[in-house]
Amino acid sequence: MSGKKNREGYIASPLEHRSYCTFFLGQNILWAFIGYISTYLTDIGIPAARAAAILIIPKIWDAVNDTIFGYVVDRHNFKNGQKFMPWVRIGTAAVGLTTVAIFVIPPSMSEAVKVTWFIIAYLLFDVAYTILDAPAFAVTTVMTSNVQERTKIIAGGKLWSMVGAMLATVLIPTLRPMLGWAKASIVFVAVSVVLMIPMLFNIKERHSETVKDEETPTFKQMVTYLKSNKYLVFVLLALLVLGLSSVEQILAIYLARICFGKESVATIVSACVAVSVIISSAVIPSLSKKWDKFQVLLAGLLFSLVANVVTFFVGYSNLPVAIIFIMLKCVGLAFYQVIIYMLIADTVEYGTYKSGTRAAGITFALQCFTAKLKNALVNSVALGALAIFGFVEGENAIQPAGVDKGVWGVFCLLPAIGFTIAVVLLSLTYKLRDKDVQVMSRFNNGEISKEEAETMLGSRFGAAHN
């Protein structure tokens, strides 16, 4: 096993931290570009209602694809002793090619051909993204055995993912009209892959002997792991609810075109939103040192819940004022996008503690499925709402009266509803705290006995596995 070790377990090097951050910087430039897929579909002439429907179709495949892949990751060990990084290398190449394939559909083709092309390309993209994303998150569970350092690694990755999303959402509205969808996709994918490359060679997997014994679980053991891991279910439900309510990126161009009268305003809005999210993301690690990260998450969600409602009543007639309130309402995006993924990593330790099986692969495959499902569904929700308001497809189409108010209402009130549901759900169901997870991690890595762990945890989580 490589890497330094202190009294709290094996830790990753600064180079690994940096490589992990630049990987997610690149990945989220690509992911942000994919986020404009609903706009792309309507721009090439597919009606909004039909686009909403076809975005859901690939999710049927996702339910099978992600689960199968999670099982494969947990069952397979590569000859070099690694479990996750070889998949990340394969996925990096595949996701770049399949992203471009989505955005090179000739607009002159018939609608039937465009729909067929899109569905095939999107299905392939989904497979590639699962191969890339699930292991990239799962590898944090073996980069370090220290929960605080793992929190720092994930926070760093999510912070730089916000920077990537900011760069993309600021540049896409500017470069996309000049380059067109096809050329723009090639440029953004190329930049993304270059930034992702350092992680492919620098990340080390550190598997203690205890962890190695748990790394090839049987199907029955995985089922037992999932049954015993109730907190994973609660966090994934919260992730889905919060994702379905986060329509800011999807509606950015529509908001600029319809409410503010000019697509270029999307660059200003996106930049201001991104600054808000990045600043909030940067302070999360410091806040998590002073307070438990779960409490930090709830505080951020409650703040944005109120800010979304206030923003709705402020309205969009005054652009500078509207932008200020949009920045405030988007604070919660950072808190959920960073901390939820930390909680998922924590549930790996809980599931292992309860079942004796380490199934990080299937855990993060389910996370990947949930993330892709929420992105597909939120596109469908946004497009469905536009269709209800009478939205007319086409890049330069004139919109009927009332569409502007509908877009603003969805932009502000849907997040408020989603944040409310998530706060209630997590407050009632999620009981893991940082100090508990660290005890479980130490027990899972063989550093303390079952009796010591149960004494430290009390009766809050029941007995550990035998």
Q: If the chain, 466 residues long, is cut into consecutive pieces of 10 residues, what is the mean pLDDT of each piece?
A: 48 85 91 84 84 74 68 70 85 92 89 90 87 84 77 82 79 84 91 93 70 58 79 92 82 82 77 79 84 92 93 90 89 84 88 83 78 74 76 69 82 89 94 90 84 88 79
- Taking a C-beta distance cutoff of 8 angstroms, is the pair 93, 154 a contact? no
- Residues constituting the chain: 466
Partners of residue 5 on adjacent β-strands: 10
- State the DSSP H helix or E strand holding residue 10, giving kind and residue range, or none if neither: strand 9-11
Rounded distance, CA 241 to CA 425, Å? 10
Strands 9-11 and 4-6: antiparallel
CA atoms within 13 A on the CB side of 212: 9
CB contact set of 113 (below 8 Å; sequence gap of 6+) = none
Q: Tokens representing 298?
A: 């709830």
DSSP string, 299-319: HHHHHHHHHHHHHHHH-SSSH
CB contact set of 82 (below 8 Å; sequence gap of 6+) = 205
- Taking a C-beta distance cutoff of 8 angstroms, is the pair 374, 243 a contact? yes
Residue identified by tokens 């073996």 is: 142
Q: Tokens representing 76?
A: 């397979």
Identity of the residue numbered 2: S
CA 152 to chain centre: 17
Q: Tokens representing 112?
A: 């039937």
Rounded to 10 deg, the angle between the 219-228 and 360-388 helix axes is 60
Q: Which residue, among 58, 150, 148, has the nearest Cα to 102 in the 3D structure?
A: 58
- State the DSSP H helix or E strand holding residue 135, giving kind and residue range, or none if neither: helix 111-138
Q: Tokens representing 198?
A: 């350092």
Q: Which residue, among 273, 267, 271, has the nearest Cα to 177 in the 3D structure?
A: 267
Give helix then strand counts, H and E, for the chain. 19, 2
Rounded distance, CA 149 to CA 203, Å? 15
Rounded distance, CA 54 to CA 63, Å? 16
Inter-residue long-range contacts of 363-366, CB under 8 Å, 24+ positions, other chains counted:
363/70, 363/138, 363/229, 363/232, 364/70, 364/133, 364/134, 364/135, 364/137, 364/138, 365/66, 365/67, 365/69, 365/70, 365/71, 365/73, 365/130, 365/134, 366/66, 366/67, 366/70, 366/232, 366/236
Rounded distance, CA 68 to CA 91, Å? 16
Rounded to 10 deg, the angle between the 48-75 and 111-138 helix axes is 30
**Per-residue pLDDT, 20:** 92
**Per-residue pLDDT, 213:** 47
**Per-residue pLDDT, 123:** 87
Rounded distance, CA 310 to CA 376, Å? 28
CB contact set of 220 (below 8 Å; sequence gap of 6+) = none
- Taking a C-beta distance cutoff of 8 angstroms, is the pair 137, 344 a contact? yes
Rounded distance, CA 11 to CA 359, Å? 21
Q: Tokens representing 134?
A: 């699930």
DSSP 258: I
CB atoms within 10 A of CB 6: 9
Rounded distance, CA 217 to CA 226, Å? 12
Kindly report the pTM of this predicted structure.
0.70
CA 379 to chain centre: 15
Rounded distance, CA 199 to CA 286, Å? 25
- Taking a C-beta distance cutoff of 8 angstroms, is the pair 353, 453 a contact? yes
